[in-house]
Structure 1
Amino acid sequence: MVVNIYGKLWTSLLFLLLSKGEELKKPPTSIVFILADDLGIGDVGIYNENRTGDTPTIDRMGKDGIVLTQFHVMSPVCSPSRAAMMTGRESSVAGYPNIADCNPRGNKGYYYDNNIDQYRQVATDAIGRLNETWPSIAHTLKSAGYTTAMLGKWHLGCLGLPHFNEYGWDVMKSFEDHGDPASDIRWPGYTNFGSGFWTDKFDINNMQTIEAARTIFSNYTSETKIYLSLNPIVPHWPLSPRRSSMEAVPGPKECNISKFWEQNFTWTKEINKNFGRSQLRHHRGSKACMERVYRASVYEFDMLVRDALNLLDEFGRSNDALIIVTSDNGPEVPTGRLCWSQRGNVMHFRGYKRSLYEGGTRVPFIMRWSKIPKSIIHQDLYGIDLLPTFVHLVDRAQWLKNQLKQLHLDQLPGRLFPFLKYPTNQNNQRKELHHMWSYRTSLFADWEYGLAGHCSGHSPAFSARARDSDLKLLLEFARRNDSTILFPLIPNRSTFRRVELYNISADPFEQLDLLHNDSTLQCWNSLAAQLAADFLYWFRFTRPKTRGLLRRPHHPCRIGPPPPKNNNRMHYRRHRFAISHSHNKNQEQREHTPLSSSSSSSSSMSGSTTVLHY
């Protein structure tokens, strides 16, 4: 079965599921969340018939479960996307406009501040590491009695991290060398990860991960509730599939596997960077062999899913297990410098990783649970909808509401997955809880940095999606340091240097820009102006002034000169606002006062200071 992603079945299928689906009286005993790294929507056979055979386990899951054809992550890059999934907020609001730089190389100002802890008391300042006080998926499930375990890639902070228990995890085994050197905190890691990352990713992604998962399951009875998050680094560069995996995938046949593995071939760091120096480098670096290496790596990810399902069977957990397979963003760009990983498939969608076009943010999502009938869902759903869905599934809505109130945080912008019914003990609160998740009609994403090594396919820096229609607005400000973008809230077309508008249901491949020949501004005024106004309000009052991001590098894909240099680094924290000289006078009071959006508005309009607290 291949999913038809071009149509859109709206309410008929959803009403069918809501009316005939089994009442979810209790949550699943086991929840297994498997998150691929850079897996494209066209890399999975159930979405793309040309890749049938690469993902047999995932395809069977889709035939027996639920397939989302329009699931979007909130960022086209790993750290921001994962932060949004964990916290249920847009990536920048969660503190991650960019990746977590685990190797700062003396450029800490580009990503986070040296003295991050002095800003920790303001709830929105989380850049450099995920804010461990914010309620997340792990916190939610742990509060509901689940034993929570994370195995694999974390990538939500590296330096000065607290103990993993503070993030809601009972068990942790992380690829990265995390911890706080000052307090000798170290997160448990993988054996030989440094070398295996370049030479044998099957060992770390599959063998060590499954063995750790087996240990977790063996320590508890089948009635113990367990949440297991598996996060392999595949098909992310570098790649090192085994020969048996390359032989298992159906093509391309132009790649001679016997020739590829001649001369006692082994994967090395040099080969993953420039195909090595062997006489066979031209054959190994051919498009056919590059694609076969990539598809073999996807096949090994499918093997991880297969082994995880076998573990559930082995420990008697498969009958009441919720399994989710998805990806953090789209695949690597095909014309970059990352060798084997350049052969990811986005089908006909525009854009790749690091692009806000559909190819960078629309990813596969397959879910299976015996209490939910198998179906194909064509409704737009997003990564930030996962936390509300989990909260609802385990009946922790009131707990979350109390947590947000204590931390002075706004409501979550996500919504519930439409095929999950309300538990019976919440029937009298249906209207209130549904409003708790669906008050936002627009969602916003940003990626202000470039692609890998080139500008082709580079999208505008921001996107705004209307949840109740099919409109997608892409925007980029006219000038990097123009303070007028903050005033007024009603934007003019000239506010933006670049703006594009697409009707995704009619034009999923983003080929027809509705504003391209809009000289009379008719389309702008009738379709885009309100969405742009919603974006500016979010930009001004919700998107945090991430204090760690002091100096943004000027990317060559951006038009115009770099931002001006100034000895007073507090004066140009970011390109879109300036802090007045009265900052130091009021800094102590602001640092110790958690800020809500209402206080942000009043402080910005008072005239005493121009600092804006988002």
Structure 2
Amino acid sequence: MKYVSLLVLLCATSFTAIAADHASSKNAEKPMNVVFILADDLGWSDTELYGTTELYKTPNILRLAERGRTFTRAYSNSPLCSPTRASILTGQTPARHGSTTPAHHTKRVRMKAEVAKRSAPSNKAVVVSSVTRLDTAFPTLGKLVNEAGYHTGHFGKWHLGPEPYSPYEHGFDVDVPHWSGPGPAGGYIAPWQYKNFKANYDGEHIEDRMAEESIKWMNSLPEDKPFFMNYWQFSVHGRWGGKAEIIASYKDKIDPASGQLSPTYAAMVHTLDDAVGSLMDAIDEKGIADNTIIVFISDNGGNIHSPIEADGGAVPTSNAPLRGGKASIFDGGIRVPCIVVWPGVTTPGSRSDELIQTSDFYPTLLNGLGIDLPENHALDSMDIKPALEGEKLKREGIFTYFPSQTKVDDWLPPAVAVHSGKWKLIRVFFGGEAGKHDYKLYNLSKDIGEKNNLATARPELVKKLDQMIEDHLVDTNAVTPIANLDFDPDQFRPDLIGTRVSKKKR
């Protein structure tokens, strides 16, 4: 009798194990969903990920980090939004795709970058005029996943052109609120100013609504095929504003000795984080966490130059210990928070110091989803799966091309930079003497704030890294700044380079 009982127990155990293995195998065979969360203007020090803030509270972003791998050296492709967004969707740098400034909401349609017609005599270089629309000829990420059978939805900010250059023309089945502007129309708190998208109630916050709309869409989808969701947040871009009760809760938490002095901005970060939490909860409730990739990253560094009147003129944030911010090629403008949750690939709660860039998600996601990379489409990016798995990347460097100038704190004239290992070299076009370029070299492992320019002390390294820059510009067929033939040395003010030019409204 004991023998029969033991036999029954063994059979039952074996059956349970086989069933579990079958269920696990079946679950693993399911194609992965993707939720791509792109924050707007969220700086490297604007979350609790890196121990650089006492003010901002981001428990949901920390919760997301517990599920995947946090990257400490993730970079946007540009210190401004539209160029980075174009790079995510194409896998190319701004040097190649031509979007170098966020002019994609303007009426001017320019499909090829070109050198500007003129420059002020105080400038040594003539800037490049950016492309103003994301060309529909590109095999964009949305198109490729849609063609592979994915449901596709875009929620939030786009800023790559109105129709016929909207998300609909780039592979997305759904686009809410179908807005091509640089920030939330009319502000964050309803009533808003979108053409065909109204608030559910007065005082509704657009970020809450975007999270709600994206979740509603996700839950409405049939389970016959996977989905790819762009949740590109409006937060924390201007116009400045937030929920009054949250702003009030941060007012007594401001440390005057800190560079983070805005309760309004703190409330905006708070609401951004709430939206991340809402998405995570919805994914869990739907039971798809094991088959959903989540990418969280920002399009550029934090804004350190736009005074917020409601906060007594305090600027939105500080990216310290990094130098600079949005619209600056220093690391404060391009080093950004990043988390990737990829079940079966990333180790929960892990970190990586590998050098990655926003454009890398194009080949990484396509390869990971089993979608062929398009032919005759040059890439300036790499599959970072080894880094996702905790391994080293075989990477020579990454490039930041910013051939324009916006006179914010720590701005530079038209420039391009390369990060290679611990080194960063910035080439300022024609910024030196007698029409030569100027160079700034930093050892970021010892000088994260880019305070000590080693270019004069390390000429051979400058030469090597500058050759990498030149090779990239040639390979991408980049339109580059030219020397300003109208330059007048008497009008040149080097003392003003890096100094903010104030405007009444920004």
> Structure 1 regions of 5+ residues with no counterpart?
1-21, 114-124, 179-189, 256-286, 422-433, 480-491, 562-614
Provide the residue aligned with 1:43 in structure 2: 46
1:139 corresponds, among 132, 135, 143, to: 143
Moved more, 205-214 or 357-366: 205-214
| CA distance in 2: counterparts of 1:169 and 1:67, whole angstroms | 28
Instruction: Verify: 1:127 aligned to 2:98, yes or no.
Output: no
Provide the residue aligned with 1:598 in structure 2: none
Provide the residue aligned with 1:64 in structure 2: 67
Contact kept in structure 1, 2:104 and 2:160, CA below 8 Å? no
Contact kept in structure 1, 2:44 and 2:337, CA below 8 Å? yes
Q: TM-score, normalised by structure 1?
A: 0.62
| CA distance in 2: counterparts of 1:560 and 1:394, whole angstroms | 53
1:449 corresponds, among 385, 404, 409, to: 404
| CA distance in 2: counterparts of 1:138 and 1:109, whole angstroms | 22
* Structure 1 segment 329-348 matched on structure 2, within 5 A: 329-334=300-305, 342-348=315-321
Provide the residue aligned with 1:231 in structure 2: 232
Letter of the structure 2 residue corresponding to residue 212 of structure 1: E
Instruction: Verify: 1:99 aligned to 2:102, yes or no.
Output: yes
Could you say if the C-alpha distance between residues 442 and 214 of structure 1 is closer, same or farther in structure 2, counting changes exceeding 3 Å?
closer
Higher helix share: 1
Instruction: Verify: 1:210 aligned to 2:239, yes or no.
Output: no
Provide the residue aligned with 2:385 in structure 1: 417
Provide the residue aligned with 1:292 in structure 2: 263
What secondary structure, in the 3-state scheme, does the structure 2 residue paired with 1:376 have? strand
Provide the residue aligned with 2:463 in structure 1: 529
| CA distance in 1: counterparts of 2:110 and 2:31, whole angstroms | 44
* Structure 1 segment 443-592 matched on structure 2, within 5 A: 443-451=398-406, 454=407, 456-467=409-420, 469-478=421-430, 496-515=436-455, 517-518=456-457, 523-524=458-459, 526-545=460-479
Over the residues paired in the alignment, what is the CA RMSD in angstroms? 4.1
Could you say if the C-alpha distance between residues 288 and 418 of structure 1 is closer, same or farther in structure 2, counting changes exceeding 3 Å?
closer
Q: How many correspondences in the alignment?
A: 435
Shift of 1:348: 0.8
Provide the residue aligned with 2:186 in structure 1: none
| CA distance in 2: counterparts of 1:410 and 1:471, whole angstroms | 26
Shift of 1:88: 0.8
Provide the residue aligned with 2:369 in structure 1: 394
Letter of the structure 1 residue corresponding to residue 232 of structure 2: N
Provide the residue aligned with 2:341 in structure 1: 368
| CA distance in 2: counterparts of 1:289 and 1:465, whole angstroms | 29
Letter of the structure 2 residue corresponding to residue 313 of structure 1: D
Contact kept in structure 1, 2:113 and 2:130, CA below 8 Å? no
The sequence identity of aligned pairs, in percent, is 23
Moved more, 65-74 or 409-418: 409-418
| CA distance in 1: counterparts of 2:206 and 2:465, whole angstroms | 42
Could you say if the C-alpha distance between residues 70 and 112 of structure 1 is closer, same or farther in structure 2, counting changes exceeding 3 Å?
closer
Provide the residue aligned with 1:194 in structure 2: 193
Contact kept in structure 2, 1:325 and 1:366, CA below 8 Å? yes
Letter of the structure 2 residue corresponding to residue 381 of structure 1: I
Residues 527-553 of structure 1, C-alpha deviation per residue, up to 9 Å, x if partnerless? 01122123223334414449xx99x9x
Contact kept in structure 1, 2:207 and 2:234, CA below 8 Å? no
| CA distance in 2: counterparts of 1:129 and 1:108, whole angstroms | 7
What secondary structure, in the 3-state scheme, does the structure 2 residue paired with 1:238 have? coil
| CA distance in 2: counterparts of 1:175 and 1:338, whole angstroms | 29
| CA distance in 2: counterparts of 1:97 and 1:461, whole angstroms | 11
> Structure 2 regions of 5+ residues with no counterpart?
1-24, 115-128, 182-188, 494-506
Q: TM-score, normalised by structure 2?
A: 0.74
